[in-house]
Structure 1
Amino acid sequence: MITMTTVGYGDVTVGSDCGQMFTMFIIVLGFVLYMFSLPTLLEILLGTHQSSKFRQSYNNLIKQEGLVIVVGSITEKNVSCFLKELLHPDKQGRPTFSVILLHPSFPTPGLSSILKSHYTRVQYYQGSALNYNDLMRCGLSIAKSVIVLADSHCSNPIKEDNANLLRVASIKNALSSIPIILQLLMNDSKKLLKCLPGWVPGRDVPLCLFECKLKILAQTCITPGFSTLLCNLFFATGLTSSGMKLASSHNSIWRELYATGACNGICSVVLSVSFIGMRTAEVGRICYEELGLTLISVGKGEKIIHQGSIGYFIANHLVDIQVVHYYCFKCHSGRSRNLSPCSCHSPQGQDKTNETFSFIDESYTFNDDLCQITSPPTCPIQSPYFPPPTSLNDHIVVCVFASSDSMSISLMSLFGPLQQAGDTEHSIVVVSNPDYFEREWSGLEDTTHIYFVPGHPLDSATLSEAQIESCSVCILLTGVAVNEQDNCQEHGIEDNEVVLCALKLRHKLGEKVSIISDLAIDSSIHLLDGSSQSGWPPHLSDAFALGQAFLPSVFDSITTAILYNPDIMCLLESLLNLKPPQQDMSTSLPSLNQSNTKIIQISMQSADYRRFSGLQYKELYVHMTAEDLLCLGIYRQKHQGSYQRFMIAAPPHDVILFHDDVVLAVLLCSELESLLSAV
């Protein structure tokens, strides 16, 4: 009684009437609090507290617009970045979700702290995706989508993919109509998707992490600045007010310009019927001049607008592009503000915008080229030891930090686009473990201009043999850990070799050679910076702004973007597939169904564009639309005479062009032009 009421033994008493009234209130409150806590105390004493807490059935107490179930690799490292992207407040105008994490084991202390920070929208259920009752208990029948996460840090990617494929099969058996976003690691795992019952391409979207990463890096070698541009457009954690203060606190003009572009994102909308029959570039000019929006692409690179064509724009907020859906030349031409829908056009055919949340898009067909499977040849593996010639210049050095037991990550996804990029033959020198490269060689035997130097990338003699001093780009790739012991316990130490090699090369080569580090942990990027910026978000750090690192959290951003808008996968295919990789490049011809867009760079020092130096960016944008080019941004020197450059995505109209600027643009080609260019 004394413990429950917390008023003591009576040796000290209250004499006043107010004090006695207060003591009576404390006694009653003590009884109430004790009764509420008694069941929890009994559950803890009996060991059933966690079991009952995480075994309940779904009850949507907080009204959200949808439910998303997340299964697969649910770890503190995976979930923290994913939830930050999914639940970020910058997603204005997007649907709000309740999120359920389903995993067989109880949450770790670190994961529990993450759940507490998102307790209003995230719930953790203990159970298995292979159990029908557990799936139904999580609300599968009313869920909008299921996301299957993969662990890119696992020791056995094949085993990880097989487990995720089995989870997909179980979910489809429970409810075949549920849309699924599936993360895979290995390219060959995608072969099994056609065997899964209920898997529908377009409604169900696979994302091959290794292949997507390598293709982004390949495109960055061809058009420097592309990786920074693409990743910034997908990051939901755009520029906040605190981030803007950080950028401006250094009184650095280049950081402020970079931050201006970093706050943009990708939005899509069904184009107005007023644009039907027009050239895509002309629509881009109208949207830029009158609406202030930057058009990236239409569909999979459509050159002419059709009924229901989907346009992809660079914008600050979702509401900015909604006007494109109901734009009318008669009522809206010449007006840039306070536009409202008019009655000139029938609403038929205009009922699909990304304001309406839908996971099923019948007009979307998934292109296997993005995650194409490269089957190994049937002939025996020959020796892959081809030393580079003694006089290589402007070649690409690829350093893979892998051991003799590391699994292949299919480097063909990196080498294929490099060897098919226009008229330039890119010589590639690979530095890695010989046993590892022999496994990679099974998919590279038909390639040319690929040389191999056995050894460790941290060895100076090995790097000299690869002629690192005369290369144009050096890519430092993180290999797959052989076993769990290779994943160091200290957070961020996973990138020790990559970071040390990057710092060593930068000290040796300076800024002349572009060094791109493939990081396993986002926070490691601050080790690449020359100054202390621990308070900065990773995508606002100098190393990322200058294109010196690839952040793994971009896959969480892409997965979240696909959840909100499945059509984003179509844009990825359009931007990353310059030409589909061929199994036999000597005899195979490209398909007419391939992407009809190409990312190119245009120098302001070229004869055709030299006259735009000193003019405003909007004048260049309008001029380039006449040549079927859509400008994406400016790749500008950090300071006069510097080798380092930063990317300004969708610059303001009044930005002045410099004579040494480089512009990234999307070249729109017809299907026949794409075929002739490839041949």
Structure 2
Amino acid sequence: MANGGGGGGGSSGGGGGGGGSSLRMSSNIHANHLSLDASSSSSSSSSSSSSSSSSSSSSVHEPKMDALIIPVTMEVPCDSRGQRMWWAFLASSMVTFFGGLFIILLWRTLKYLWTVCCHCGGKTKEAQKINNGSSQADGTLKPVDEKEEAVAAEVGWMTSVKDWAGVMISAQTLTGRVLVVLVFALSIGALVIYFIDSSNPIESCQNFYKDFTLQIDMAFNVFFLLYFGLRFIAANDKLWFWLEVNSVVDFFTVPPVFVSVYLNRSWLGLRFLRALRLIQFSEILQFLNILKTSNSIKLVNLLSIFISTWLTAAGFIHLVENSGDPWENFQNNQALTYWECVYLLMVTMSTVGYGDVYAKTTLGRLFMVFFILGGLAMFASYVPEIIELIGNRKKYGGSYSAVSGRKHIVVCGHITLESVSNFLKDFLHKDRDDVNVEIVFLHNISPNLELEALFKRHFTQVEFYQGSVLNPHDLARVKIESADACLILANKYCADPDAEDASNIMRVISIKNYHPKIRIITQMLQYHNKAHLLNIPSWNWKEGDDAICLAELKLGFIAQSCLAQGLSTMLANLFSMRSFIKIEEDTWQKYYLEGVSNEMYTEYLSSAFVGLSFPTVCELCFVKLKLLMIAIEYKSANRESRILINPGNHLKIQEGTLGFFIASDAKEVKRAFFYCKACHDDITDPKRIKKCGCKRLIYFEDEQPSTLSPKKKQRNGGMRNSPNSSPKLMRHDPLLIPGNDQIDNMDSNVKKYDSTGMFHWCAAKEIEKVILTRSEAAMTVLSGHVVVCIFGDVSSALIGLRNLVMPLRASNFHYHELKHIVFVGSIEYLKREWETLHNFPKVSILPGTPLSRADLRAVNINLCDMCVILSANQNNIDDTSLQDKECILASLNIKSMQFDDSIGVLQANSQGFTPPGMDRSSPDNSPVHGMLRQPSITTGVNIPIITELVNDTNVQFLDQDDDDDPDTELYLTQPFACGTAFAVSVLDSLMSATYFNDNILTLIRTLVTGGATPELEALIAEENALRGGYSTPQTLANRDRCRVAQLALLDGPFADLGDGGCYGDLFCKALKTYNMLCFGIYRLRDAHLSTPSQCTKRYVITNPPYEFELVPTDLIFCLMQFDHNAGQSRASLSHSSHSSQSSSKKSSSVHSIPSTANRQNRPKSRESRDKQKYVQEERL
């Protein structure tokens, strides 16, 4: 090659025969396309090979193909003349493609002709067989059969090979999946080699034995060739196989590699077509089980198509622009790198077109014209869809990573800002000490901005993941198998409670199916739906599975308020975690909030209490440890565990007894566990009671390793998994032996109680027999009864009134103590509820409406012990402020009523209560003095009312004279503190309380349901009604259980303590003398004021301290024992019917202790009138 020629020399000349200095490749790709002109040909006459073809003068305007040369080196003597041979590479691909296509078409044509000929010949032979005889036919059949067997054998062999090849290339087997993934990986490897080689000239001489990338590319293509053969064998339609994209890619990439080895030269050519293999990327990921969702598959598909088209088009532009147009003798080429071409294609597709890089060749521009049409359409459709898919990708779609040494729970179901905030406020309360539990929320809807902000505020303990518990994949994401528990929240305000319960039951089924051992605590709205949980095989309440039925507990709380007004507020505050709010002023809020700070805790009792009776331990805890113990857990090796509330002095405590305490802090409850008589007997400050080193305590700790730090039994095994922690209680109760009255009750022909002995029972009655007209109700002269005002119609959801009646029909009441229940409401609705009520005695129905004053006067609402206002239509209204309109209107209607004083004398139908153990016959031995007479009610404000609310903020409308702010929390409002309002939202705290201590729910249910047990629930699930049973010693023994009552201080044996006495003295006296356990006060709101006209409203004080001063008008909440002898005579035990809203008036569960002398001096006419009224009640 001439040095400094006008053709563009960049290379130095050599000696004769081309054996001079070696030619160096220029880094500029344009150096590959040198041409010889006239001046360069004359100056290079000494060159041996190049001058022979250009000795005559030639012009640049007359280009010739053979005048083009490529750089030649001595190490790679691919061509002595240096001519380009791109056509050889392209021809190998074209010949392979069209040659194979021609062979396939020729084969199909011949096969078609052969089939036609054979078909015609077959018809001729068949005609000959019909014409010939059977003997000739037998002679000709044999060779035909042999031929058919040979053809069948050949077809079978070919089919087997074809099936084998199909299995090898499919992803149905492990070998097929490995092969498919390997082919894709090698294709990407070949594409990477192309990216590397794209920095070299388009065509250059390469030595196969020295070029490492060419050797790798050769190995890859040999594998592609073998895989192509497998695909060809497995293809059913060879023609379509030959024309598909992957086959075309192989045609234009595999043969040129073999040509490169033969010619010792390399040509980039169409190797960029390997980028089309990226289209199969989503299939590969599906084979590897990486892509599972439709959105992810679609996203990967769009990305792979877009990127593969982009890279392939860039490769074509790179080829034609660096080569030039063939008809221009490749003189109009330009030097562009591959990545510049990628940039050019992107700005072209996006219609930006900066103009800094553009196509110069005609082929390049022609390609760009068509590419703009397709590329612009693809860019405009694919890119927005890709962005949308990425934008719609779940923000909370990750997986939970468990932290070593830290438990986590999964919360699902109804996840809203209200439900989550209420749950977190109680679960993460500071009074729970160190809550080393992480909360994982799982919901199928992403949180809104407010809920997201709430999660961020608790980011150290809360995580949210989007998904469904019905999807096993989502359960695996939140590590449900290692979770400590799963909590399912319900929508308390849904329009269809049964549908909501069905959804939660399905969640339980899904979770239990995925991991049967997981502990589940779920909220249920309807009591009858709890039976469906028993159908789940892995549901086991003994292992911690609990269903918190909101209707059961809500109506149970309300029922207990009928027996002791204000108890619903006290119990709701006990299992809710509330911080202490200190108020300096001497107001009712100060004492109320001091009680609100108390909660329910459990702790194992110290060995110092072993051998002591329950009242003795209870008194010691209250006086010395400043703790109120109300119950213990009884559990033996051969009996189921049960909770005994105030069991009495017949019970002796043994090792490992679990006690239930009311205290303001978990640290205070530890005193019961650390107490040592030797070390702490002389300590007066309970805060100094700490862990000591006595042998007794050490021994107890060794025996009970799980109780070293039980706190509130925070899910660390607890009683359920500790067989050695079962308390062994010795019962020496003579009352358990049936007395004369109990033996008299054992009548084999009379069923007075249900089969469990827990509730009063009667034969089923038709609803027509209990319906009262307005005149009949007025003539009955009802008094000391419970009026239930209910709003509902034929389409309303059922409330479950059985849960309201059952606690009022508990068997620990004697029959004459049962309060008559009168329902006032729509008869159509009550007919739907009656199936669950027809086995309870003393129930009547007045069809009407609670808004009718005539109906209310007919049932003597001014003489009732409690008026309950319920609504079944609350969840059918979208506006939350109007959900409670019926209940609020009914409450205001009753409060505005006025009554005549002429019937006030009827209130004296009841007398007082004499605690067990007091001498009723001798007035000399009785410490009581006189009987309390009750004035009549002249205004509806003094009628005891409890109203159910759905929306907490509507409580402001119940009392028009209070000063509650609309934003005040429910528990701080006056109606709730007074026990006249109850909202289902207060039950939300039971979820976290049950998780930390699974005995709390059992205790609450024992207190409020009147004795409902899991066995009773299983029985109701079978028959949907209580079953009557004959009285036996075992069933009658079930009556021996505590009940809640209110004790009056205005008169009776505690009257001396009522005027300035200490609450602690009252506590000890009641406990020692009558086995009555006091736990709260129901005080007049303005008792601390010395004004003559005090307000009749009362409020609740929970667990007051020992030195708390009492006033005469106080009513004391107490747990009283069952009196076996009270049923012998109605005169020995009766209830006073009066309103606790009055300063001198107490509800029917308020018990005074009258003297026998006063009772004997009662006028005969009064006794006759009481007797007539009692007969009327018995008839009802």
Give the structure-2-normalised TM-score: 0.49
Give runs of aligned pairs for residues 335-346 of structure 1, distance below 5 A. 335=683, 336-342=686-692, 343-345=694-696, 346=699
* Displacement of 1:322: 0.7
CA distance in 2, matches of 1:425, 1:307: 39
The answer to whether the Cα contact below 8 Å between 1:634 and 1:662 also exists between their aligned partners in 2 is: yes
**C-alpha distance after superposition, 1:410-430 (max 9, x if no partner):** 212211222344442312221
Give runs of aligned pairs for residues 245-256 of structure 1, distance below 5 A. 245=583, 248=584, 251-256=585-590
One-letter code aligned to 1:539: Y
Match of 1:451 among 844, 867, 892: 844
One-letter code aligned to 2:672: V
**1:235 aligned partner:** 576
**C-alpha distance after superposition, 1:377-429 (max 9, x if no partner):** 99987576334343112321111222221132221221122234444231222
**2:545 aligned partner:** 204
Give runs of aligned pairs for residues 312-461 of structure 1, distance below 5 A. 312-335=660-683, 336-342=686-692, 343-345=694-696, 346=699, 347-350=701-704, 351-352=706-707, 354-355=710-711, 357-358=714-715, 360-363=717-720, 385-387=771-773, 388-390=777-779, 391-420=781-810, 421-422=813-814, 423-461=816-854
* Displacement of 1:238: 3.2
Label 1:159 to 1:317 Cα distance change in 2 as closer, same or farther (>3 A).
same
**C-alpha distance after superposition, 1:516-551 (max 9, x if no partner):** 111112222222242242343211111111111112
**C-alpha distance after superposition, 1:458-501 (max 9, x if no partner):** 233333333323323111113155xx7x2323x43321221222
**C-alpha distance after superposition, 1:45-100 (max 9, x if no partner):** 52544533121111358x884211111222334333222222233x3314243222
Give runs of aligned pairs for residues 251-262 of structure 1, distance below 5 A. 251-262=585-596
The answer to whether the Cα contact below 8 Å between 2:790 and 2:872 also exists between their aligned partners in 1 is: yes
Give runs of aligned pairs for residues 142-221 of structure 1, distance below 5 A. 142-202=482-542, 203-221=544-562
**2:868 aligned partner:** 475
* Displacement of 1:446: 2.4
CA distance in 1, matches of 2:424, 2:679: 42
Work out which of the two has the higher radius of gyration on C-alpha atoms and give 1 or 2.
2
The answer to whether the Cα contact below 8 Å between 1:354 and 1:565 also exists between their aligned partners in 2 is: no
Following TM superposition, where does structure 1 have runs of at least 4 consecutive aligned residues deviating by more than 6 angstroms?
41-44, 372-381, 672-677
One-letter code aligned to 1:258: Y
**1:494 aligned partner:** 883
**C-alpha distance after superposition, 1:597-616 (max 9, x if no partner):** 22222211342211212211
CA distance in 1, matches of 2:405, 2:500: 32
CA distance in 1, matches of 2:426, 2:1127: 38
**2:976 aligned partner:** 544
One-letter code aligned to 2:981: A
**2:409 aligned partner:** 68
CA distance in 2, matches of 1:310, 1:628: 20
SS at match of 2:400: coil
Match of 2:657 among 303, 309, 325: 309
CA distance in 2, matches of 1:402, 1:113: 39
**2:113 aligned partner:** none
Label 1:232 to 1:664 Cα distance change in 2 as closer, same or farther (>3 A).
same
Say yes or no: does 1:639 pair with 2:1071: no
SS at match of 1:348: helix
Larger RCO of the pair (alpha carbons < 8 Å, separation 6+): 1
**C-alpha distance after superposition, 1:627-654 (max 9, x if no partner):** 3222101111223554321111111222
CA distance in 1, matches of 2:870, 2:958: 15
SS at match of 2:687: coil
The answer to whether the Cα contact below 8 Å between 2:794 and 2:829 also exists between their aligned partners in 1 is: yes
Match of 1:553 among 960, 979, 985: 985
CA distance in 1, matches of 2:809, 2:761: 18
CA distance in 2, matches of 1:354, 1:382: 55
Please list every run of 5 or more consecutive structure 1 residues that lacks an aligned counterpart in the other structure. Answer: 1-40
CA distance in 2, matches of 1:443, 1:79: 34
Label 1:100 to 1:443 Cα distance change in 2 as closer, same or farther (>3 A).
same
CA distance in 2, matches of 1:517, 1:282: 39
Say yes or no: does 1:517 pair with 2:947: yes
SS at match of 1:278: coil
The answer to whether the Cα contact below 8 Å between 2:576 and 2:599 also exists between their aligned partners in 1 is: yes
Larger fraction in strand: 1
**1:19 aligned partner:** none
CA RMSD of aligned residues (A): 3.4
Label 1:462 to 1:389 Cα distance change in 2 as closer, same or farther (>3 A).
closer
CA distance in 2, matches of 1:674, 1:128: 57
**C-alpha distance after superposition, 1:85-121 (max 9, x if no partner):** 22233x3314243222212223345544443443443
SS at match of 1:451: strand
Label 1:593 to 1:354 Cα distance change in 2 as closer, same or farther (>3 A).
farther
**C-alpha distance after superposition, 1:120-150 (max 9, x if no partner):** 4322222111111101101212211101112
SS at match of 2:995: helix
Say yes or no: does 1:106 pair with 2:446: yes
Say yes or no: does 1:596 pair with 2:1041: yes
The alignment of Structure 1 onto Structure 2 pairs a total of residues equal to: 620
SS at match of 1:213: helix
Label 1:236 to 1:674 Cα distance change in 2 as closer, same or farther (>3 A).
farther
Label 1:531 to 1:47 Cα distance change in 2 as closer, same or farther (>3 A).
farther
Label 1:308 to 1:569 Cα distance change in 2 as closer, same or farther (>3 A).
farther
One-letter code aligned to 2:1064: K
The answer to whether the Cα contact below 8 Å between 2:487 and 2:521 also exists between their aligned partners in 1 is: yes
The answer to whether the Cα contact below 8 Å between 1:397 and 1:431 also exists between their aligned partners in 2 is: yes
SS at match of 2:884: helix
CA distance in 2, matches of 1:610, 1:373: 34
SS at match of 2:1046: strand
Say yes or no: does 1:665 pair with 2:1118: yes
Larger fraction in helix: 2
**2:1055 aligned partner:** 610
Match of 1:87 among 404, 428, 450: 428
SS at match of 2:622: helix
Label 1:287 to 1:399 Cα distance change in 2 as closer, same or farther (>3 A).
same
CA distance in 2, matches of 1:465, 1:637: 30
Give the structure-1-normalised TM-score: 0.83
Sequence identity of aligned pairs in percent?
Answer: 28
The answer to whether the Cα contact below 8 Å between 1:598 and 1:666 also exists between their aligned partners in 2 is: yes
Stretch deviating more after TM superposition (588-597 or 231-240): 588-597
CA distance in 2, matches of 1:349, 1:629: 33
The answer to whether the Cα contact below 8 Å between 2:760 and 2:809 also exists between their aligned partners in 1 is: no
SS at match of 1:52: coil
Stretch deviating more after TM superposition (640-649 or 543-552): 640-649
Stretch deviating more after TM superposition (598-607 or 290-299): 598-607
* Displacement of 1:252: 4.9
The answer to whether the Cα contact below 8 Å between 2:609 and 2:653 also exists between their aligned partners in 1 is: yes
**1:56 aligned partner:** 398
Label 1:620 to 1:377 Cα distance change in 2 as closer, same or farther (>3 A).
closer
Match of 2:957 among 523, 527, 537: 527
Label 1:48 to 1:120 Cα distance change in 2 as closer, same or farther (>3 A).
farther
The answer to whether the Cα contact below 8 Å between 2:428 and 2:435 also exists between their aligned partners in 1 is: no
Stretch deviating more after TM superposition (95-104 or 526-535): 526-535
SS at match of 2:817: coil
The answer to whether the Cα contact below 8 Å between 1:219 and 1:417 also exists between their aligned partners in 2 is: yes
Give runs of aligned pairs for residues 264-303 of structure 1, distance below 5 A. 264-299=598-633, 300-301=643-644, 302=647, 303=651
